[in-house]
Structure 1
Amino acid sequence: MAASWDDLRVFLAVARQGSLSAAGNALKLDPATVGRRVSRLEDGLGAALFLKSSNGYALTGAGERLLPHAQEAEQAMAHAEDAVRGQGDRLSGVVRIGAPDGCANFLLPKVVSRIVATHPELEVQIVALPRLFNLNRREADMAIGVSRPEAGRLTVQKIVDYQLVLAAARDYLASTAPIETLEDLKAHRLIGYIPEMIFDKELEYFHDLGADRPVLASNSVAVQYQMARQGAGVAVTHDFALPGDHILERVLSEAFALTRSFYLIRHADDARVQRLSAFAELLVGGMRREMILVREALTGSAPSEDAGERET
């Protein structure tokens, strides 16, 4: 019996997620259905594709041999979807973006809202997680990172620079000791990442403040931001979160600012999928325009739009 795309899709999900339950969540199927689909595929091919252990589902030799063919079928279906839609400049379907939660909370909603306003048939999903995304496991169609990945069949494009700055609630600043130098921060509560849960070296910035650990911490920068807004202390936050916020005030603007960058990361095979490439172009352009507006609001000048070259 020839393998159907529906069964191959389930096979890929289990191979990437490592369990029936995780694959079911990704496919919006119950684990029992996922298990039956896998068994049906194995029966049809006459070979066991997975070895179940305490660590989950691992590919057998037959599963490893099937994997590249299933991935080719996935790409073929993506190309077929492009061809069938044929809507010209209008985008449709689902696109999932993985992003660190600072970008996902404060920057992407503005950019994505403008994109879907001109592409109403498009469904965009933003997965905000304080960790790196695994595109090889298809956790997302594309991801935004704060550093270039060092391995994998990926394409990487620099999007834009941003800054990490110090900020605190105006009420907090009015009721505590003045902050005129970095040394003065030692008398204040600092808010930042839980050190053991920092997921990227670009977020290790407390040594720049002359401090070892934050007094108040979270693995989510959005939580850190809300702590600062509640007057809990001084936080390191993204500059693009501050325009329009009438509670927070930037602190030591001349003495402290760290430049960081956002990168668009895609699976190399997806470069040939017209719909995803068109969306990626809109996303990158939208983020660059938004950061120009941010810089104008904060300083009256615009950042460079030198986004670098695409790398494979």
Structure 2
Amino acid sequence: MDWDDLRIFLAVARTESLSGAGRRLGLDASTVGRRIARLEGAVGAALFLKTPQGYQLTAEGARLIPPAEAAEQAAAAASEAVRVEAGITGQLRIGAPDGCANYLLPQVARDLCKAHPGLEVQIVALPRVVNLTRREADMAIAVSPPDAGRLTVQRLADYRLHLAAHRDYLAEHPPLTSLQALKDHRMISYIPDMIFDRELDYLSATGVETAQISSNSVAVQMQALRAGAGVGIVHDFALPFAPGVTRVLTDSISLTRSFWLIRHADDRGSRRLTLLAEALAQGVRAEIHRLEGQLPTPD
């Protein structure tokens, strides 16, 4: 059985489409379809059932997943065995919530690429948890540890969040002397039905039920604060990127959350990914510390 056919089989299983697998592998969909047909001929069984939702594994296809993934791991190990130790090369795809992806990972990626000039870093910012089982990324950062799946989880770092607003907004609106005073202000927060993790439900900590301006993106919320649109809870590490936005009511609300690094359990034997995971963890911790350290001490 050809390993390259198994590689294509895994891509279709993970993306549930020929075109998605083709984009991932740099092949056209018709080539992917032909290779799947060739593999099905070799095993003597249909591996996928085409449905309106995409290509779904048959029972025979599901049974092929474990040996195909074992072959994938063996190929990766062989590649690592001949890789020059002077620097890590190839592609690293990191999935992360957009606050981390926007304000932390660009600097971390810069340092990784400086240390390893042959490395290509891809940052996937999604308003949901990245699916490592489908190999959407090599590793992922999340705001809660997963409770299912064949995954390994490592606590990265804690970070803090506070209410904040632009100085111009504060100058034009009633004084913010207590949480009760928030009723006289426009609130900025997440769209309630698009909160994908309970740890992101910051608005409930304020006692305010409704935000007048909302987005599923932390970056959009921050831009709204910079525009003087209202008051919102944001990451302390994002504030150095928003001149004029300052923390308020720090004695009333101070939230602490954690980032978690998640990897597929099958990747534990990959020395390359382990080294990159260690460097990523160190970089994220250092960047949170650096950015939070730039903020003035709360009154």
**TM (normalized to structure 1)?**
0.92
How much does 1:268 deviate? 0.8
SS at match of 1:29: coil
How much does 1:22 deviate? 2.4
Amino acid in the other structure paired with 2:6: L
Is 2:275 the partner of 1:278? yes
SS at match of 2:82: helix
Give the gaps of 5 or more residues in structure 2: none
Give the gaps of 5 or more residues in structure 1: 302-312
Structure 2 partner of 1:9? 7
Q: Quick one: distance in 1 between partners of 2:206 and 2:174? A: 17
Q: Quick one: distance in 2 between partners of 1:89 and 1:236? A: 43
Distance 1:182-1:277 versus aligned 2 partners, 3 A rule: same
State how 1:97-136 maps to structure 2 within 5 Å: 97-136=94-133
Could you list the per-position Cα deviations for residues 92-134 of structure 1 after superposition, in whole angstroms to 9, with x for gaps in the alignment? 1101000000000001111111121111111110000110111
State how 1:49-88 maps to structure 2 within 5 Å: 49-85=47-83, 87-88=84-85
Structure 2 partner of 1:31? 29
How much does 1:271 deviate? 1.1
State how 1:193-272 maps to structure 2 within 5 Å: 193-243=190-240, 245-272=242-269
How much does 1:167 deviate? 1.3
Q: Quick one: distance in 2 between partners of 1:226 and 1:300? A: 23
Q: Quick one: distance in 2 between partners of 1:27 and 1:165? A: 43
Q: Quick one: distance in 2 between partners of 1:161 and 1:89? A: 32
Could you list the per-position Cα deviations for residues 14-46 of structure 1 after superposition, in whole angstroms to 9, with x for gaps in the alignment? 111222222223223332222122112112222
Number of corresponding residues: 298
Structure 2 partner of 1:310? none
Could you list the per-position Cα deviations for residues 168-198 of structure 1 after superposition, in whole angstroms to 9, with x for gaps in the alignment? 1111111111111111111111111100000
SS at match of 1:219: coil
State how 1:117-156 maps to structure 2 within 5 Å: 117-156=114-153
Amino acid in the other structure paired with 1:237: V
Deviant stretches of 4+, over 6 Å: none
Structure 2 partner of 1:41? 39
Could you list the per-position Cα deviations for residues 33-92 of structure 1 after superposition, in whole angstroms to 9, with x for gaps in the alignment? 22122112112222111111222211112211211111001101111111111x225111
More deviation, 67-76/250-259: 250-259
**TM (normalized to structure 2)?**
0.96
Is 2:88 the partner of 1:91? yes
Distance 1:140-1:236 versus aligned 2 partners, 3 A rule: same
How much does 1:299 deviate? 5.1
Could you list the per-position Cα deviations for residues 278-311 of structure 1 after superposition, in whole angstroms to 9, with x for gaps in the alignment? 000001011111122223222569xxxxxxxxxx
Structure 1 partner of 2:184? 187
SS at match of 1:225: helix
SS at match of 2:240: coil
Q: Quick one: distance in 2 between partners of 1:143 and 1:250? A: 29
More deviation, 216-225/42-51: 42-51
Is 2:293 the partner of 1:296? yes
Distance 1:105-1:136 versus aligned 2 partners, 3 A rule: same
Structure 2 partner of 1:173? 170
How much does 1:6 deviate? 1.7
